[in-house]
């Protein structure tokens, strides 16, 4: 199923997972300032999930929206549903599981709208593939939410190519948010990014720095040491910091990968934005790949 994708993202996406109780526990005033600073940088996409902060992070963000309703027209909000997280905030959930039934998707989307204080979600994603998912039922939920104006676009996160293909045959998917970095290269090899290019689907990348593992000094993992060593001369060549090179490696891919940044520090986001101007040569891209793999490409 081909498609014309009308969704556009800012060049980097701001991930909101660590702003609440799972991270820095930023207060409303500081979060408002942070959002304004991101907007000033031209970064207007904010990535949420219902489970973040044990189902509290959307509400924290919504408090800013309540104070500043003008932000609704300045930003784009993605959120995710489908994970049933065991937490006191969901006392009926007995075990960690996934659910993508029509009632659950609709209820989750409506709860996210309430928490965030907005009338429409720009993008709703299924957070993890549910082994019991029925694509026709998901499509019904999406169609209803779109008709009601509650969501604008729909996509998935962490779906394999076959799972994506199945659901996409029932309802248009405009995004697959995947883990991809020099330490997690499966999407380059399993057909995920090929599929994105074929369908015109936007791939967004969570954990673009390997969950921070690439920044661990004196790591006992050979791959990290090889990547660090290979990057040193490239840092001089491109006048770039290590983290900027890691982003440039992702940005080089022709599928148009858009990194989701997990940092809560505006200085790091400013630094990340500078990576947009780095254009690695083909050979330098492969130098970093070879370092990550530990051998020459076959």
Task: Cite the active site residues.
Answer: 52
The Cα–Cα gap between 223 and 172 comes to: 38
Residue 161 in contact with residue 192, Cβ under 8 Å? yes
Which segments of the chain does DSSP mark as H helices, in order?
28-40, 52-55, 57-67, 102-116, 135-147, 161-168, 186-189, 192-199, 222-238, 242-251, 266-274, 282-293
CA separation for the pair 119, 110 (Å, rounded): 9
CA-CA distance, 207 to 181, in Å (whole number)? 7
The Cα 109–Cα 180 span in angstroms is: 26
For residues 285 and 252, is the Cβ–Cβ distance under 8 A? yes
Q: Are 255 and 197 in contact (CB under 8 A)?
A: yes
Q: Considering only CA atoms, which of 133, 145, 10 is closest in space to residue 74?
A: 10
> How crowded is residue 189: how many other Cβ atoms within 10 Å of its Cβ?
9
- Report how far residue 230's alpha carbon sits from residue 280's, in angstroms, rounded to the nearest whole number: 14
Q: At what angle do helices 102-116 and 135-147 cross, to 10 degrees?
A: 40
Tell whether the torsion through CA atoms of 184, 189, 190 and 194 is positive or negative: positive
């Amino acid at each position: 199923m081909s498609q014309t994708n009308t969704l556009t993202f800012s060049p980097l996406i701001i991930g909101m997972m660590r702003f609440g109780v799972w991270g820095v526990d930023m207060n409303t005033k500081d979060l408002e300032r942070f959002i304004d600073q991101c907007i000033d940088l031209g970064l207007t996409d904010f990535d949420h999930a219902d489970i973040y902060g044990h189902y509290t992070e959307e509400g924290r963000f919504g408090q800013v929206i309540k104070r500043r309703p003008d932000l609704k027209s300045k930003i784009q909000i993605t959120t995710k549903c489908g994970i049933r997280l065991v937490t006191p905030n969901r006392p009926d959930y007995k075990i960690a599981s996934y659910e993508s039934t029509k009632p659950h998707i609709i209820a989750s989307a409506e709860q996210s709208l309430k928490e965030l204080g907005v009338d429409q979600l720009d993008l709703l994603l299924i957070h993890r593939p549910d082994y019991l998912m029925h694509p026709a039922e998901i499509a019904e939920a999406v169609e209803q939410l779109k008709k009601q104006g509650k969501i604008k676009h729909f996509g998935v996160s962490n779906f394999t190519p076959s799972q994506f293909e199945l659901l996409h045959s029932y309802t248009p998917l405009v995004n697959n948010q995947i883990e991809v970095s020099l330490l997690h290269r499966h999407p380059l090899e399993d057909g995920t990014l090929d599929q994105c290019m074929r369908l015109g689907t936007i791939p967004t990348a969570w954990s673009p720095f390997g969950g921070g593992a690439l920044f661990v000094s004196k790591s006992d993992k050979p791959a990290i040491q090889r990547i660090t060593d290979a990057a040193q001369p490239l840092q001089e060549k491109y006048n770039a910091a290590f983290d900027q090179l890691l982003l440039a490696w992702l940005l080089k891919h022709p599928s148009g990968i858009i990194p989701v940044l997990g940092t809560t520090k505006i200085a790091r986001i400013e630094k990340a934005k500078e990576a947009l101007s780095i254009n690695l040569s083909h050979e330098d891209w492969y130098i970093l790949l070879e370092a990550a793999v530990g051998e020459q490409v076959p």
